[in-house]
Amino acid sequence: MAEARLAHETMVTEAGLPRQVRCEVPLLALGTTARCLDAVSLGAAIRIGGFLAARGRNSKTLVLHVQTFDFLEGTEHGQILQEEG
């Protein structure tokens, strides 16, 4: 199991106006994906595929469960900020 935090930053258009979006999302990966994610350097730009789920049965906190990821060039994508656990 691997846990980390993802920083996401992008520009979008909302109601015809530009908006900068920044957020941090907790990540969770299991099995082979976890072992591969553990090898990613902090600050690496990656694209993640997966799903959002509650951290636990009675939790309202969301966690992004990583199923796939790809390395990207540039800095306008998600970045691993810190490893947890």
Q: Is the pLDDT of residue 14 over 70?
A: yes
pLDDT at residue 81, as a whole number: 46
One-letter amino acid at 24 equals E
Q: What is the CATH number of the domain that holds 47?
A: 2.40.50.140
The whole domain housing 75 covers: 2-84
pLDDT at residue 84, as a whole number: 53
- Once rounded to an integer, what is the mean pLDDT over residues 67-81? 66
Q: Is the pLDDT of residue 73 over 80?
A: no
Contacts of 69 (CB under 8 A, 6+ apart): 33, 36, 37, 40, 46, 47, 48, 49
pTM, 2 dp: 0.72
One-letter amino acid at 83 equals E
**HSE-CB of 53 using CA atoms within 13 angstroms:** 11
19-66 pLDDT, tens per residue?
A: 999 999 999 999 999 998 888 888 888 889 999 999 989 998 999 999
The domain tally of the chain equals: 1
